[in-house]
Chain A
Amino acid sequence: MFDVEKIRAEFPIFKRKVNGNNLVYFDSGATSQKPEAVIEAMNRYYRETNANIHRGVYEMSAESTRLVDEARADVAGFIGGRSEEVIFTRNTSESINLVAYAWGEENISKGDAVVITKLEHHSNMIPWQELCRRKEAELRVVEIDSQGRLVESCEKKIFEENGLKVVIGGWKELLDSKVKMVAFTGQSNVLGTIIPVEETVKTVRKLSPSSVILVDGAQMVPHMSVDVVKQGIDFLAFSGHKMCGPTGVGVLWGRKEILNKMKPFLFGGDMVGEVKLTGATWASLPSKFEAGTPDIAGIVGMGTAVNYLKRIGMDEIQKHEKSLLEYALEKMEGLENEGVVSLYGPKDEMRGGAVAFNVIGVHSHDTAQILDNYGVAVRSGQHCAAPLVESFGVTSMVRATFYLYNTKEEIDYMIRKILEVPKVFI
């Protein structure tokens, strides 16, 4: 049974105080907290096993290699993929850059188009902007409605700046045979909008049959069960540190058939087969895309994190977050009706545990700082999604994001403290 108090007891950070108050951590969208099991697994690795992988014939090196292999299998199982299709990177940004370079350089040419959405984090926007600029390809951006949901159809807008042609429209206007890559987020990091991946993939396959599909799973994989085969996607990028794992480890999952055709992204140690002074052949998957010594302790932590989440159950976690979101939205709508806050984001079921808002008349940084004085950690600013935030006619927003360890009592506490904010500034 899902027991939030038991879960909280497994996260040492909740023992600390912030400005004399209990920590209310509502910034898991930026990075999640880590359970004792993950911290302990990484410590144990350094204390008892530390040795490089794929190198020595000695016992400890073999143990290290086995730990990394096991973590890879655990991560693959967590998303329904195969071990050799899981490439460890530093983070989601690096995973997407890997595709934008190693796949994009070979497969995008002048006149092609890449489709992204208005909801994207900069990490799933800038790599494609730069690829399209280099290749003189078109960047197409799926528009959102006033609640931050992607639109099926809308009037097309075209503009060109700094050598990049950008076309804005709905899915129907943007998907055609020129499209070679469709890269979209599974869940908006700002508004919590959930994109139905399977449904979207069906539409894309029908209208842009020769395109490759990448999902930015940074805000999806930590919060719901994911099956890449069922979803029918080609690439999935996500970060360990947003799902109870350590910083420094990200994942790119890719379909074997596509990864095999790609050239390496980074060159160097461990990614080679035969090496001569005049050149080299490449190792097989996944080593081909993992040059140099990886963050071994981090990978061990990542493997422990997915097992931890599996033990609690992704469906249980999603259900818990859903109940927190509904509770928070109800309370926040109360504040909206009283004229205290403005709320942003979907009002339907397709929303994950994120509440974006502003206290009316107060800058998001000022709101966040006052909340911090009471021990409430929320994010403020543009959330690495400037075009999205600005499309709501504001320069910044406050964002509270929930995870498995948050409670309704914490939401009540935040609501009470939000009421303190206008007293300071207005």
Chain B
Amino acid sequence: MSDYKEVIIDHYKHPRNQGELAEADKVVEDTNSSCGDIIKIFVRMSEGRIVDMKWQGVGCAVSTAGASLLSEVVVGMTKSDLEDFGEEGVVKLLGGEITLGRMKCATLAYRGLLKAF
């Protein structure tokens, strides 16, 4: 049934940490080939930990909310923290239930962010 929990609609309509990050240490891009969505992620790092993250891109409600929600929880994480967090962690942020057909949308930002390390 619907993936559109309130949290998704909220973050879709009011995305957090959207924009560019001046003096980013890493800028990475990832795409979802099934729909052409592109996300650009800006990260500042210190000693292998994320200090700040911002993101830009066009996307559906699920990928937008996925990026927005992720950007709120990743500060302080190392690569291994992020790997432990996992795609399951992203699904939990999005309200706990994402259909298989939308997993690529949900995890677009997560997959992109992993490339920043």
Partner of A382, one of B9, B34, B59, B99: B34
B36 touching A19, Cβ below 8 Å: no
A389–B36 Cα distance when bound, in Å, is 10
Report the separation of the CA atoms of residues A307 and B102 in the bound assembly, to the nearest whole angstrom: 38
A424 touches B4 (CB 8 A): yes
- Indicate if the CB atoms of A381 and B35 lie closer than 8 Å: yes
How many residues belonging to A are interface residues under a CB distance threshold of 8 Å?
A: 18
Find the B residue at minimum CB distance from A396. Answer: B35
**Chain A: which residue is nearest B34 at the CB level?**
A381
Bound together, the chains give a CA A19 to CA B2 distance in angstroms of: 9
Give the CA-CA distance A265 to B17 in the complex, in Å: 53
Please pick, from A364, A369, A425, the residue contacting B3 in the complex, using a CB distance under 8 A.
A369
Q: Do A366 and B61 touch across chains, with their CB atoms under 8 A apart?
A: yes
Q: Is A365 an interface residue (CB 8 A)?
A: yes
Which residues from chain A contact B36 at a C-beta distance below 8 Å? 381-382, 386, 389-390, 395-396
A293: CB under 8 A from chain B? Answer: no
Bound state CA distance, A198 and B96, in angstroms? 54
B20 in contact (CB, < 8 A): no
If A364-B35, A365-B35, A365-B102 touch, does A395 touch B2 (CB 8 Å cutoff)? no
* Chain A residue nearest in CB terms to B31: A395
Q: Tell me if A33 is interfacial: C-beta within 8 Å of chain B.
A: no
Interchain CA distance A305-B4 in the complex, whole Å:
39
CA distance A424 to B6 in the complex (A): 10
Contact B58 A395 (CB under 8 A): yes
| Contact status of A380 and B4, CB under 8 A, knowing A365-B60, A366-B61 | no
Query: Does A363 reach chain B (CB closer than 8 Å)?
Result: yes
Which A residues have a C-beta under 8 Å from some C-beta of B? 19, 363-366, 369-370, 373, 380-382, 386, 389-390, 395-396, 424-425
Additional A-B contacts beyond A365-B62, A396-B35 (17; CB < 8 A)? A363-B59, A364-B35, A365-B105, A366-B61, A369-B2, A369-B3, A369-B102, A373-B2, A380-B35, A381-B36, A386-B36, A389-B36, A395-B35, A395-B37, A396-B36, A424-B9, A425-B9
A-B contacts, 30 of them at CB < 8 A, read A363-B35, A363-B37, A363-B61, A364-B35, A364-B60, A365-B35, A365-B60, A365-B102, A365-B105, A366-B62, A369-B2, A369-B4, A369-B99, A369-B101, A370-B2, A370-B4, A373-B1, A373-B2, A380-B35, A381-B36, A382-B34, A382-B36, A395-B36, A395-B38, A395-B58, A396-B36, A396-B37, A424-B4, A425-B12, A425-B61
The list of the 8 closest CB pairs from A to B, nearest first, reads A363-B60, A395-B36, A381-B35, A365-B60, A396-B35, A381-B34, A366-B60, A366-B61
